[in-house]
Amino acid sequence: MKAALTFNNVSYRYPDSQEMALKGINLTVTEGEFVGIIGPNAAGKSTLCRAANGLIPHSFSGDLEGDIYVNGINTKEKKPAQLAEYVGLVFADPEAQLSQMTVWEEVAFGPANLGIPREEIFKRVDLMLGLLKIEKMRDRSPFNLSGGEQQKVAIASVLAMEPRILVLDEPTSNLDPRGTAEVFAAVKELNKKQNITVIMVEHEVELLAEHADRIIFMDHGQILLDGPPGEVFRQVELIQKTGMNIPQVTEVAQILDKEYGVWGNKPYPVTIEELYACLRNN
């Protein structure tokens, strides 16, 4: 398996801050993985995202130690605009990422910036609009769409540059449950069908547990837990101590485990289907 993104002992401090935002992060994400990152506020999740596409150190000053490799390229050597071909970054505020007059132009904006020939851009935009199921809105202004639709436009516009890695920084925090479900479904499909590596920072642990292959739990700039959802969410006390939630299914599983000792050393179930399957087998 090829590594898509590698953090090599990365530490970072923002220029106006005393505390380190990232402390000795070592992380390797392999191609095609769906990684969910959870953690309380100021855990360093957004900083990790910004470091992944070179915004840190190019647009933020401050002290960066260690190296970050995207597809084998050291991010110190290329600007974010150049890294955009490899890593796409989607932000929390859907509206602040959009800038064009129509959805079509919005999606075409990225590849046009890369100087890709027109015919190729036309093809890519049609493909992306289809992939995210937003063809019907192609001539509408992105500012007149719902939050979920806007976020899908933002994702499509990032993907039109054909990055192999998609980093999403709390993409659903401004969305209603329906918009959230839409974004998750779209990202999941991209991950499975296009084999795009996904790194997603989220507070929606239920949905993340359901979709992600791997969960990373961060606090105070460090990675505390890293593994499949069932194993990470087993560490209920550690996670709940920081004020974070774990999936309700996992909470139920924990209670059952304490009372009856059903799971032993096996990972906890994280979705209703898994819990149901487990209970049936026992």
Partner 1 sequence: MKNITLYQPGNSIFHYCDSRTKLVLILCFAVLAFLYFNPLIPLALMLVVLVLNVVATKSYALTNALTKLFLIIILFFLVIHGFTNPLGKTPAVFWGHPLTIPFFGTYTLEGAYYGLTFGFRIATVALITLLYVSTTHPIEVVRGLVKLGLPYNFGFMILMSLQLIPISNREAKTIISAQRARGLVEHNLWEKLKSLVPLFVPLVVSSLERMETMAMALEARGFGYTEHPTQLHEVKFTARDIIIIASAIILLVIGLVLRFKYGRLSWIDHLNSWGNIFWPG
- Rule CB under 8 A: which residues touch partner 1? 50, 53, 55, 58-59, 79-82, 84-85, 87-89, 91-93, 95-97, 99, 101, 105, 108-118, 121, 141, 143-144, 154, 157-158, 161
3-state helix, strand, coil in the chain (%, to 5): 45, 20, 35
Strands 87-90 and 165-169, by their bridges, are: parallel
Minimum gap (Å) between residue 97 Cβ and partner 1? 4
Compare residues 161 and 246 and give the one whose CB is closer to partner 1. 161
Describe the strand order of the beta sheet including 214-219 as a list of residue ranges.
87-90, 165-169, 197-201, 34-38, 214-219, 222-227
Both ends of the chain: CA-CA distance in Å? 36
CB of 98 to partner 1, least distance (A): 8
Nearest-approach distance from CB 96 to partner 1, in angstroms: 4
Cα angle value 198/100/78 (rounded, 5°): 50
Q: How many helices (H) and strands (E) does the chain have?
A: 12, 10
Of 58, 51, 55, 52, residue with least CA distance to 20: 51
User: Tokens standing for 177?
Assistant: 């449950």
- Measured from the CB of residue 99, what is the shortest distance to partner 1 in angstroms? 6
Nearer to partner 1, 100 or 245 (CB): 100
**CA 172, CA 168: separation in Å to the nearest integer?**
9
> Of 25 and 156, which CB lies nearer to partner 1 in the complex structure?
156
Q: Which is nearer to partner 1, 89 or 218 (CB)?
A: 89
Residue 219 burial (C-beta neighbours within 10 Å; 0-12, 13-18, 19+): buried
Nearer to partner 1, 112 or 127 (CB): 112
Q: How far is the CB of 191 from partner 1 (least distance, A)?
A: 19
Shortest approach of partner 1 to residue 262 CB, angstroms? 45
Query: Of the two residues 154 and 225, which places its CB atom closer to partner 1 in the complex?
Result: 154
